């Protein structure tokens, strides 16, 4: 394969992006309704409960490249009656994963230092950028999560229909004003096929960062943690809405460190 692909190669375009024996440490917590309302761009609406979800993962083998680590932060949201997870951030350790996720699906990905370690019944994950560890997750796999409702929430996300993710795909215009096209709301599904899963109690540490403001999603009540190993598949996404570019502009900086676009105040 070279700089220019043949039509025979292009005919082999993949239908899914697959992850094999993926390790994922996931935590859910309840945050404040006003936080969810402030962080969701229209036309997304808050889900009935103000739930945040984060994970730290290691993908030892994929259908598209080398192993890498990944983290993510989501808010539960609804569009047109379909509930899903709106992605606020998705740090990664691989450049191909970053480029593909951003350019194809609109995931707000950035390069980061990510660790995931399991020692007996304890699993720890962390994410660091610019020398600051802004997210730490520790789970004790006792079999009992922090709350009873957590188990049902996790099990409901495991089906052949997959779990819904929302992203807004957009590109800033090269002339420095607005976007190349109206931002597009992308809805796609991820199918989780766990081979093993363990539940437990979680501890979350969110540290302030001007570059990665995860601490804005305040923890009111931790629901629980799950550590799973299995195969995952990302399906193709659909454009389900076009957004008002002016209304969306304040939300358009998830995949950038603000100093790249915004001048410091005097």
pLDDT tens, residue by residue, 10-45: 887 777 899 999 999 999 999 999 999 999 999 999
Strands 82-92 and 163-169 turn out to be parallel
Contact 110, 255 (CB under 8 A): yes
H or E stretch covering 262: none
The strand pairing partners of 111, in sequence order, are 92
Contact 252, 203 (CB under 8 A): no
Q: How far apart are the C-alpha atoms of 201 and 27, rounded to whole Å?
A: 9
Query: What is the pLDDT at residue 2?
Result: 83
Beta-carbon contacts of 79 under 8 Å, excluding residues fewer than 6 positions away, are: 43, 44, 45, 166, 185, 187, 240, 241
H or E stretch covering 14: none
Q: How far apart are the C-alpha atoms of 213 and 16, rounded to whole Å?
A: 31
* Count of C-beta atoms within a 10 Å radius of residue 101: 22
> What is the per-residue DSSP string for 45-82?
EE-SS-EEEEEEEEESEESSSS-EEEEEEEEEEEETTE
Helix (H, G, I), strand (E, B) or coil at 133: strand
Query: What is the pLDDT at residue 153?
Result: 86
Q: Say which CATH topology domain 15-260 has.
A: Acetoacetate decarboxylase-like (2.40.400)
**pLDDT beyond 80 at 264:** no
- Residue 101: closest CA among 65, 52, 139, 152: 65
Residue reference for tokens 């629980």: 224
Determine the distance from the C-alpha atom of residue 100 to the mean position of all C-alpha atoms in its chain, rounded to a whole number: 14
Confidence of residue 9 (pLDDT cuts 50, 70, 90): confident
Query: What is the pLDDT at residue 151?
Result: 87
More confident residue, 263 or 55: 55
Residue 15 — φ and ψ, nearest 5°? -95, -25
Residue 129 — φ and ψ, nearest 5°? -145, 150
Query: Residue 116 is encoded by which pair of tokens?
Result: 């995931």
Query: What is the pLDDT at residue 43?
Result: 98
H or E stretch covering 191: strand 184-206
Query: Residue 149 is encoded by which pair of tokens?
Result: 């409702």
Determine the distance from the C-alpha atom of residue 80 to the mean position of all C-alpha atoms in its chain, rounded to a whole number: 21
More confident residue, 223 or 153: 223
- Domain layout of the chain by residue ranges: 15-260
Query: What is the pLDDT at residue 262?
Result: 65
Query: What is the pLDDT at residue 263?
Result: 63
- Residue 58: closest CA among 106, 89, 26: 26
pLDDT tens digit sequence for 73-128? 999 999 999 999 999 999 999 999 999 999 999 999 999 999 999 999 999 999 99
């Amino acid at each position: 394969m070279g700089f220019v692909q043949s039509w025979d190669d292009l005919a082999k375009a993949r239908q899914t992006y697959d992850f094999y024996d993926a390790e994922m440490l996931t935590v859910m917590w309840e945050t404040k309704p006003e936080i969810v309302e402030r962080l969701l761009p229209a036309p997304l609406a808050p889900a009935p409960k103000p739930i945040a979800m984060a994970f730290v993962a290691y993908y030892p083998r994929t259908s598209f490249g080398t192993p890498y680590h990944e983290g993510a932060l989501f808010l539960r949201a609804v569009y047109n009656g379909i509930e899903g997870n709106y992605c606020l951030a998705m740090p990664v350790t691989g450049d191909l994963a970053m480029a593909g996720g951003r350019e194809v699906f609109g995931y707000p990905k950035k390069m980061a230092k990510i660790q995931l370690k399991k020692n007996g019944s304890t699993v720890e994950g962390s994410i660091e950028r610019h020398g600051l560890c802004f997210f730490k997750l520790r789970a004790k796999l006792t079999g009992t999560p922090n709350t009873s409702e957590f188990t049902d929430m996790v099990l409901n996300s495991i089906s052949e229909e997959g779990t819904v993710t929302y992203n807004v795909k957009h590109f800033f215009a090269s002339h420095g004003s607005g976007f190349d096209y109206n931002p597009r709301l992308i809805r796609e599904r991820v199918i989780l096929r766990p081979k093993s899963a363990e539940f437990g109690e979680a501890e979350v540490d969110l540290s302030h960062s001007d570059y990665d403001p995860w601490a804005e999603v305040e923890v009111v009540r931790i629901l629980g943690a799950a550590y799973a190993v299995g195969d995952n598949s990302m399906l193709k996404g659909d454009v389900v809405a076009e957004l008002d570019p002016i209304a969306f502009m304040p939300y358009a900086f998830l995949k950038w460190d603000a100093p790249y676009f915004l001048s410091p105040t005097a």
